[in-house]
Amino acid sequence: MAISTTSQTTGTTHSVGQKIRGYIALTKPRVMELLLVSTVPVMILAMGGRAFVWADFWLVIATVIGGAMSAGSAASFNMYLDRDIDVHMKRTVNRPLVTGEVSPRGALVFSWVLAVVSTVWLLLTTNWLAAALSAGAIFFYVVIYTMILKRRTEQNIIWGGIAGCFPVLIGWTAVTGSFAWPPIVLFVLVFLWTPAHYWPLSMKYKNDYDDVDVPMLGVTRSPSQVGLQVILYAWATVACSLLLVPVAHMGLVYTVSALVFGGWFIYESHRLYNRAVHGDEARPMRVFHASITYLTLIFLAVAVDPLLPF
């Protein structure tokens, strides 16, 4: 017999399994995966391509665990704070705080526990700088983006997106205990990539954001204007990716990857703009998914390049 609990939000009954899945959903696993994709390659780059020893392997695992808890905490806080608008948006109507699988109090406690445990974990297993950056990432996403910027300005994603740039710094400092130019370049790369990645999504869910008065760019600007901004940020992202070649002495694999995958990302951005200008269906999710693939491949190249002799 399944053990069940009753939701205080909806009055419906949820099994323990459903509640566990609800808490997992609070961490936004897909977003967490994308953040961690940028952590491990930077750690390999920071190690200079040296052969892994057990200590290196443990450091990577410890950093990934801490980073996952940190990202999960920020996502959970975000869902707790946005539960009033999530209930009105088709994209978020199945989130656990809307369905009642998790109570607001449970989500808040869960968020704080993850925040504290992730910070202490990174402090004990890496160093104080990585732990401080992790705590800073949570603060930036929750306070600066969710509480201050998101509902007030169309610039929300530009500056709020800084929170998603922290994993590259956390990965690098976990290895070295200090800053350097390569992770700063990658920090800027992710910063520039974020608007080009998210604004197409805001086009797709324009009505959702409009209904809850969240001024995403897809709501406040025409499709062609959004498309133009996506192009500008895509070009800037690719240009920034090429800066890593001289700064980190990257080899042929990374250089070719940055050019080929960057060219594809730019092509998809121009295609979005051209369709919007001509009044055709913009198909913004094509750029959204392309941007995810682009970032994944670029960071894969960051990981592979130091391990090769050319």
Q: Domain residues of the chain, as ranges?
A: 14-178, 180-310
* Cα 285 to Cα 203: distance, rounded to the nearest angstrom: 9
Give residue 8's pLDDT: 40
Gap between the Cα atoms of 48 and 174, Å rounded: 14
Tell me the whole-structure pTM to 2 decimals: 0.91
pLDDT tens digit sequence for 77-97: 999 999 999 999 988 999 999
Cα–Cα distance between 235 and 49 in angstroms, integer?
Answer: 29
Sign of CA dihedral 173, 162, 289, 287: negative
Section 275-280 average pLDDT: 87
Q: What is the predicted pLDDT for the residue at 11?
A: 52
Distances in whole angstroms, Cα of residue 80 to Cα of each of 41, 56, 153, 188? 31, 36, 20, 29
- Position 49 scores a pLDDT of 66
DSSP class of residue 126 equals: S
Please report, as a single letter, which amino acid is at residue 142: V
Q: Radius of gyration (Cα) for the chain, nearest Å? A: 20
Q: Is 267 left (phi over 0), alpha (psi -120 to 50) or beta?
A: alpha
Tokens, residue 261: 């995958």
pLDDT for residue 229 is more than 80: yes
Is 60 exceeded by the pLDDT of residue 6? no
What pLDDT score was predicted for residue 30? 84
Of 190, 142, 201, 134, nearest to 164 (Cα)? 190
Token digits for 12?
A: 């419906």
Residue 217, SS3? helix
Of 49 and 272, which is predicted with more confidence?
272
For range 197-224, the mean pLDDT: 93
Query: What is the residue-averaged pLDDT of the chain?
Result: 91
CA distance 165 to 159: 11
Residue 9's pLDDT is what? 47
CA 177 to chain centre: 23
Do domains 14-178 and 180-310 share one topology? The answer is: no
Cβ atoms of residues 20 and 94 within 8 Å: no
Dihedral angle over CA of 202, 204, 207, 210, nearest 10: 10
For residue 52, the SS3 value is coil
Angle, vertex CA 301, rays to CA 296 and CA 302, nearest 5: 95
Beta bridge partners of 4: 15
Could you tell me where the DSSP H helices lie in the chain?
A: 16-26, 29-37, 40-46, 54-81, 83-86, 96-99, 104-125, 128-139, 156-160, 166-176, 181-204, 206-211, 217-220, 223-248, 252-277, 284-304
**Percent of the chain at pLDDT above 70?**
94
pLDDT at 2 over 50: no
Using CB atoms within 10 Å of the CB of residue 276, give its burial: 0 to 12 exposed, 13 to 18 middle, 19+ buried. buried
Alpha carbon distance 211, 194 (integer Å): 23
Mean pLDDT of 212-223: 94
Over residues 63-90, mean pLDDT: 95
The pLDDT score that the predictor gives to residue 180 is 96
Amino acid at 145: Y
Class of domain 14-178: mainly alpha
pLDDT given for residue 52 in this prediction:
61
Nearest to 158 by CA among 117, 215, 115, 76: 215
How many angstroms separate the CA atoms of 167 and 220, rounded? 30
Give me the CATH code for the 180-310 domain, please: 1.20.120
Averaged over 224-245, what is the pLDDT? 97
Among 12-21, 125-134, 272-281, 301-310, the least confident range: 12-21
State yes or no: pLDDT of 5 exceeds 50. no
Cβ atoms of 265 and 291 closer than 8 Å: yes
Residue 273 has pLDDT above 60, yes or no: yes
